[in-house]
Amino acid sequence: EAGVVQSPRYKIIEKKQPVAFWCNPISGHNTLYWYRQNLGQGPELLIRYENEEAVDDSQLPKDRFSAERLKGVDSTLKIQPAELGDSAVYLCASSLSDQPQHFGDGTRLSIL
């Protein structure tokens, strides 16, 4: 079974530029999460989807961050414009019903 796939693995952009991350969850997993992991810290939730619906986005900075999950499968997370403090690893995870979450390897974002 393929795991959670994220792309790109690395992204370097200048501040104020837009950036997008893509996530393909494990097949059949209805719940998808985006977490942000700052250096030396644990992951922190940005947004959670149940199928196509965003059910928990209270931690998403909505002035610059947006996310979508079309057809309840793949998801994209976008930042526009990026700020220096957005440098982090962006992790996607998925789960099926009441089963544990499985994480992808993340996208490491560096803002210059």
Place of tokens 């997008």: 20
Q: Shortest Cβ distance from residue 16 to other proteins (Å)?
A: 28
Q: Is residue 82 within 8 Å of residue 90, measured between CB atoms?
A: no
Cα separation, 59 vs 41, whole angstroms: 16
Q: Shortest Cβ distance from residue 35 to other proteins (Å)?
A: 8
Q: Where are the beta strands (DSSP E) in the chain?
A: 5-7, 10-13, 19-24, 31-37, 44-50, 53-56, 65-68, 75-79, 88-95, 102-103, 107-111
Q: Which is nearer to other proteins, 79 or 106 (CB)?
A: 106
DSSP symbol at 72: G
| Site residues (CB under 8 A) for other proteins, limited to 24-83 | 31, 33, 40-45, 48, 56
99 counts as binding other proteins under rule CB under 8 A: yes
Name which position in 19, 91, 109, 111 contacts other proteins (CB under 8 A): 91
Q: Which is nearer to other proteins, 21 or 33 (CB)?
A: 33
Give the footprint of other proteins on this chain (CB under 8 A): 4, 31, 33, 40-45, 48, 56, 91, 93, 95-106
